[in-house]
Chain A
Amino acid sequence: MLRFVVRRLLLLVPILFGLSVLLFIWVRALPGGPAVALLGERATPEQIARIESLYGLDRPLYEQYFSFVRRAAQLDFGASIRTNQPVIDEIQRRFPATIELSVAAMIFAVGIGIPLGYFAARRYNTWLDNLSVSGSLLGITIPVFFLAFLLKYVFAVKLGILPTSGRQDVRLIVDHPTNFYVLDGLVTGNLNAAWDAVRHLILPAVALGTIPLAIIVRITRASVLDVVHEDYVRTAEAKGLVKGTITRRHVLRNAMLPVATIIGLQTGLLLSGAILTETVFAFPGVGSFVFGAISFRDYAVLQGFILFIAVIYVLVNLVVDISYGFIDPRVRVR
């Protein structure tokens, strides 16, 4: 087990190296550089040239790359060219928000997706099944920004029961020892603040979790449909096992394997979906930060963020691989 984990972690090295090269070339291949983006309508060719020379953007690409790698090896991802503040600080400070949102979105997607997929399969070809299949199709196709707009219109503007944006009512004065706002509220005993943070999470989590939800519903449904027709389920039924036990131990447990894989893969989707979701909900996580960086061609921020996401993605999928062993002892790694 330990060897497996170490091997997978070592794999990170070539992945990060390859990614850093691709990334480095990609962001610099984009038309227009940060100098133009920073100065906007005001840019003159002389000013652009001076900014490029000051930030070393006029040096050969390989030189820039080595300087980047040298710094990255010391966990220094440079500073945002817009604010001249270290990128790593910003990512560290904002990451809890993104985790909180992603976890909430996952709870929504898994908490509703698995039961819904299961019941759709058990009521195969009934109205519930048809509804969940067509609903999930809709869920996959609806653009996040449109869904967000709609959710806010209904729940915030019209009904006035949920906030439109942010992580917390800005008028509240609260301490944030961990930067996980829900947790902070609980830790400091400020239940109002915790509840307020939860309320701020609901709409963005629904918007972000809709696509994963749709996918989880479909995979669970397909997987359960497969499993319920297996011999061992029929055997279990034949020998008179209680229905709940059959569901738990024979159907769901076996059906969960592909679902777990999908949940792992969804992490990447969640983190990229967070860019848009966080922006439309003004949710101060890494996603909204990167959104700004894209339009400013903020190389350092983009590089730092994408490498960071890659590490998270690999780690989450490692956890998923390990979880297979718990779900199905047959694939337990040795």
Chain B
Amino acid sequence: MRLSSSPRRVLAATMGGVLAATLAGCGGDSGGPTTGGDGGDGGDGGAPDNAQTLVFGASADPVVIDGAFVSDGESIRVIRQIFEGLVTTEQGGTDIVPALAESWEVDEEGTTWTFTLREGVKFHDGTDFNAEAVCTNFDRWYNFTGILQSPSVSYYWQTVFGGFAQNEGDLPESLYSSCEAQDPTTAVITLSKSSSTFLTSLSLPAFSMASPQALEEFGADDVSGSEDSPQFTGTYGTEHPTGTGAYKFQSWTRGDKLVVTANEDYWGDKAQIGTIIFRPIADGPARRQALEAGDIDGYDLVDPSDVAALEDGGFQVLRRPAFNVGYIGFNQAGPPMDNPKFRQAIAHAINREELVTTKYPEGAEVATQFQPPQLWGYNEGVPTYDYDPEKAKQLLEESGIAKPAVEFWFPTDVSRPYMPDPAGNFQLIKADLEAAGIAVTSKSAPWSPDYLDAVDSGKAQMFLLGWTGDFGDPDNFIGTFFQTPQKLWGFKNQQLFTALDEAEAEPDQDKREELYQDINAQIMEFLPGLPYVHTEPAIAFRPGVDGYTPSPVNNEDFNKVTLSEG
């Protein structure tokens, strides 16, 4: 190492450099939020303003841009812009409305679904969207083999349709039987049995329509590598995702940005902004600072504790209708949780009202059951457990448990929409339980995967958990939790399992609603856990970003969004 100038000069040069950088930054094109163009309002429903660019701060990179293979929110956010399904959910709600299918009908057995497709729709590669394309997509999913049958890869297919053409491993028979293209605009899908969740679930991005030509050409399903380390070799999901949506895929540099541009030939409401850039910023505070500094125009997963500050700073904070539930789980595999009086005592001991008011932002409400009130099947008349420490003590006495004690688990390193501050929730609940005379042993672990592992494997006696719904059906809430015996709950309640099976299979919508209402009451009577909150997850934008409609199921399109100088 040779120093070419005196240390004094080195120091001066370094400092000078920093100063120069700073000054130049002042005068440069730095930092300002922006729209890239002249900031026209573009809101008149005309052609997209190609000069405009919106930068959105995502919490992570997508996994892959292929709906069939993902279940994470960041992949889904991008897929929603590029792809469409046969049906979708209404803006800001959960009701099913037409998308690529204009109408549909089902036969009396509830197994044959005939979809009439929208005419003149083209995929981004210029090929036609038609009944054959629909069938190619369904047959593609149905014929997945090998690693594509992993629940981490084809999660939603397995959730909705169960199994595949050739099941590898212990999977149920597939709900899907076949698809026939009767003519270019008529696709007939046959199911192996009646299912009342089939249509609703088709609004999931997992079942959106991809260009058969692009799937084939870019090897969407190509897998190579060794048996225990399979690799996707095709470039479809990383470089050539091709749908029918208002935006077209342009480029993706992992870790840096994913760019989509307006589809000029879109059949519906054309995009108002020329380019959307999704930028992964994993760190929550970093996303907020990026918005405040004008590096991005909006971001998701706003920390509830930031909401007030952002609003005070003049930023827009939009709230999604509550479509989640936060609950305390009781594992009934052993005593004392298998004692109903003990569970009831816990329910009466906890002041949920106070918990929600002190620990949650505006919009959060106390839960009385395991599904949100906005979803049909909700029952106003379920058994409730008001805060009543005296009653809790009395129930404890009646339970016959000499020394009431629980091991109570909470996760660290995580913030979920239904549980922004798990440790804070834990402290309040613990204090309530102790006040009622229940000794609490604290247990904590990092959320993923340690905590989830402990809870799923049935190790946690009492735990904090929650759920965000995927689509508007009670089956997606209480069916997911309680339809089968699970180690995390540790109970076998055949009556409940059967009731949920029957409600899922019931073809008559009105009857189904009644069934789920009854089941909600039955569950709260049985008290497998204590639901305590429904929240409204927030998304933030700078002033000047308009037209974004928050959706309970995150079905949020950017095509109606407009930009102006904020």
Contacts and interface: CB of A to CB of B under 8 A. Distances in A.
Given A36-B456, A160-B293, A202 B227 contact: no
Contacts of A300: 229
A279 B60 CA distance: 11
A221 interface: no
Interface in B223-265: 223, 225-232, 238, 253-257
Interface in A277-323: 279-282, 284-285, 288-289, 291-292, 295-297, 300, 323
Contacts, number: 246
B386 to A, nearest CB: 28
Given A160-B293, A288-B255, A326 B449 contact: no
A78 B293 contact: no
Contacts of B257: 170
A45 B279 contact: no
Interface string A11-34: 000000000000000000011111
Interface in B16-51: 18, 21-22, 24-26, 28, 30-32, 34, 36
A30 B450 CA distance: 8
Interface in A88-126: 90, 93-94, 97, 108, 111-112, 114-116, 118-119
Contacts of A248: 3, 6
A41 B256 contact: no
Contacts of B170: 46, 50
Contacts of A76: 225, 229
Contact of B452 (A36, A67, A291): A36
A171 B53 contact: yes
Contact of B228 (A31, A67, A244): A67
A157 interface: yes
Contact of B466 (A41, A112, A119, A285): A41
A202 B283 CA distance: 19
Contacts of B32: 160
Interface centre among B71, B281, B466 (most CB of A within 10 A): B281
A323 B1 CA distance: 7
A56 B227 CA distance: 8
A163 interface: yes
Contact of B31 (A79, A156, A252): A156
B151 A47 contact: yes
A164 interface: yes
What class of interface size applies to chain B in its complex with A? 35 or more
Contacts of A44: 456, 484, 486
A243 B199 CA distance: 86
B286 A164 contact: yes
A37 B449 contact: yes
A84 B293 contact: no
Interface centre among B71, B169, B254, B445 (most CB of A within 10 A): B254
B457 interface: yes
A284 B289 contact: no
A171 B223 CA distance: 34
Ranked 10 nearest A-B pairs via Cβ: A56-B228, A32-B449, A284-B255, A32-B453, A78-B229, A115-B11, A37-B449, A47-B151, A36-B449, A161-B25
8 contacts: A47-B152, A55-B150, A56-B229, A79-B231, A161-B26, A165-B290, A171-B53, A199-B30
